[in-house]
Chains A and B, each alone.
Chain A
Amino acid sequence: MNELIETLKQQVIEALNLEDLTPADIDADAPLFGEGLGLDSIDALELIMILEKDYGIKLQSPAQGKEIFKSIRTMAEFIQANRTR
């Protein structure tokens, strides 16, 4: 799980061009949106694409999104349980 979390941090930094940050700067339990990493709702599109392209997961229920993308850790847990690649 820790390895997946570190990989995810790097993928999020690259996808969202968070050039000022390193994986070590991101708290795995901090909220991704609002406080914490301070992402905007539009940034969720890039997170969705990480799930689709890198892990073969297509989100089915829009209502799931907020819980899945709560933090890097919740993303990692969801990926571990649902990944197809």
Chain B
Amino acid sequence: MTDTSNTKTQWQGTTDGLPWMHRALVAVLGKVPIGVIYVFAAVFVVPFYLIGNRRGYLSQYHFFREAFGYGPFKAFRYVCLNHLRFAQVIIDRFAVYGGRRFRFAVEGLEAYNELAEGESGFVQVFSHAGNYELAGYELRQPRKRLYALLFRDGSQTIMENRENVFSPNGVQMVFVQPDMSHIFLLNNVVRDGDIASIPGDRMFGSTKSVECQFMGRQAQFPMGPFQLAVVREAPIVAIFVMKESWTQYRIFVRRLGLSLQGQPAAKRQHTALLAQEFATCLETIVRRYPEQWFNYFDFWQK
């Protein structure tokens, strides 16, 4: 386990566009067929990002070259597909703000419901592959509140829309705070029987990480979500929400740490094993949906 203070491995991003653009997109998506917006984005937006976002382009290109062993042309094709998919995923989020609903198939719903209906709080860990934000519309937790740790996005419009959509579903946003109050809050959330939702593939707030084998190389994963589950002796579940067509998503629910139950292990070792199990699950998902890997930085950089 290491202290990864290198800022290049920490998420610094925000959603592009001005507030009026976001508001316009929400309004348009309430009226215009989503396919029209996809085509518009493919023609006018995606090329702009392919050319203008050099860091994102290169990170994806190397990802397909090194992690998948694709040749230059196939890697380029997948970078284009990736940018196209990312545009669709962002559009889908705004479409939900505008009232649109998607179809979902869920693998592991029983396991999720068992946790959601139980007394114990738990940790829900997710990745920036696919469209996790949409999980909140299909996975319900009527007995619990879900507290989602988020990077504070610069866009007020996005925050307001998230608030509007999430609040009726029992979802509350939690932001990383310099006084660490988010840590104390998330501890209380799990202690009191609710759900702490934390990204498992981006570091913000804490710089402590766990080195895991991922896509053939060692990569740093944040220690936080796994450490919280271990310290509180709480269940932990990985959620992946992957886009399969214009109108359908597939949600994967994976309980982590089941093989570790009842086995004596030091907390650090237990944390590392959980992180590796998450990394392995994530790799399986990314290999199935390679174009939906949306970490636009060198994930393997130390």
Contact = CB atoms under 8 A, between A and B. Distances in A.
Q: Is the interface of B mostly helix, strand, loop or mixed?
A: helix
A66 B177 CA distance: 11
Contact of A42 (B179, B185, B188, B224): B224
Contact of B268 (A17, A33, A64): A17
Contacts of B179: 63, 65-66
Contacts of B188: 59-60, 62
Interface residues of A, number: 18
Contacts of B187: 44-45, 48, 59
B184 A40 contact: no
A48 B184 contact: yes
A32 to B, nearest CB: 11
B184 A65 contact: yes
B180 A65 contact: yes
A62 B205 contact: no
A65 B191 contact: no
A40 B206 contact: yes
A30 B171 CA distance: 38
A63 B181 CA distance: 5
B180 A66 contact: yes
Contact of B184 (A17, A33, A46, A59): A59
Nearest to A59: B184
Contacts of B185: 62
A57 interface: no
A66 B181 contact: yes
A17 B180 CA distance: 21
